[in-house]
Chains A and B, each alone.
Chain A
Amino acid sequence: DAGVTQSPTHLIKTRGQQVTLRCSPKSGHDTVSWYQQALGQGPQFIFQYYEEEERQRGNFPDRFSGHQFPNYSSELNVNALLLGDSALYLCASSLRIDRAASKDTQYFGPGTRLTVL
């Protein structure tokens, strides 16, 4: 049973460029959330996708956009990269309706480390 996978593992870009990060959820999961984790900070929620639509969004500018495909995989796109976008980008998958409601069924992928020069 494959867990959450992300690609690429590392990426180096220059300011102004665009980047696309990819995530495949854990088997059986239908919801994907994206987080940005800067060095020394906790993960910050970017947005969540369910049924191919963005369902909730954190405090991130429109330069951050995403997509979810029919197979539940997801992409995170960042346009016009800034130096401050350098971070670990984490994808987490979960099951929208989980009978064990008291338990967080959110599983994280290993992340993509983005460096903007």
Chain B
Amino acid sequence: RKEVEQDPGPFNVPEGATVAFNCTYSNSASQSFFWYRQDCRKEPKLLMSVYSSGNEDGRFTAQLNRASQYISLLIRDSKLSDSATYLCVVKENTNAGKSTFGDGTTLTVKP
């Protein structure tokens, strides 16, 4: 079993749709959590950190449930430019050490 598992996807949605991605992690020692975005043949870029209280950044909302070891990302009012692969990432140590990535979920937003 992978340490970080994501919805396999792909997700194909129309513009304006709301889409949710889920992620589970197996290491209970994980301390920090993130969503990254990766465009085709580009490097991953940090989308947002995920906090226990939940956090929002514009159309994006992230939630963390430590008890269930579950992370989610909600995208509202999808735009064509949201088309990308979304990677769920966990770290044991906030300042050092490896980041463990899921395999990503691919989103395609269509006109």
Contacts and interface: CB of A to CB of B under 8 A. Distances in A.
Contacts of A58: 98
Interface stretch (B11-19, B43-51, B65-73, B74-82): B43-51
B96 A31 contact: yes
Interface range for A: 20 to 34
Contacts of B51: 102
B43 A106 contact: no
- A interface, by DSSP: helix, strand, loop or mixed? loop
Contacts of A111: 43
Interface string B86-107: 0101010011111111111000
A45 B100 contact: yes
Interface of B: 4, 32, 34, 42-46, 49, 51, 87, 89, 91, 94-104
Interface of A: 31, 33, 35, 40-45, 48, 50, 55-56, 58, 90, 92, 96-98, 101-104, 106, 108-111
